[in-house]
A = this chain, B = another copy of it.
Amino acid sequence: MPRRIDPTADRAVYRQLADLIRDAINTGQLRPGELLPSEGRLAQVHEVGRDAVRDALALLRSEGQIVTERGVGSRVRDQTHTENVQLQRGDTVTTRMPTPEERRQLGIAEGVPVFVVRRGAGEMLHAGDRTRLEVHDQPADEA
């Protein structure tokens, strides 16, 4: 129902649409796992072309907000961190987008970055959507 897209605005239509959907996700109107309206439906409802819809969904996918399956549709991605990894002194950490191969191995969706933790000569990869890194706390101090 939200008729808030302005084709004459500076901001691209597909970005406006992505904003709408992103907001709907962040405000809980769209819940994790929930199926979005189909591309055709979104185009109708918002009165935009299918290109704009597809570009908007691609953007949200790249942000890790949704996952898309052919023949099915796009779902809101569940972003809950479950795994804690302890960092040690001397560890260095970088982050980047994984290769498709790494995505497959880690079992993560598109739009999800990875942690690269280097410890000595070794290197460990962690899925960014379910990992929280923690710097080891001293035995006696605040939690």
Contact = CB atoms under 8 A, between A and B. Distances in A.
Interface of A: 12, 15, 19, 22, 26, 55, 58-59, 61-65, 70, 79, 81, 87-100, 110-115, 128-129, 131-139, 141-142
A64 B99 CA distance: 10
Contacts of A138: 89
A53 to B, nearest CB: 13
Contact of A91 (B58, B90, B135, B142): B135
Contacts of A132: 92-94
A88 B135 contact: yes
B137 A100 contact: no
Contacts of A89: 135-139, 141
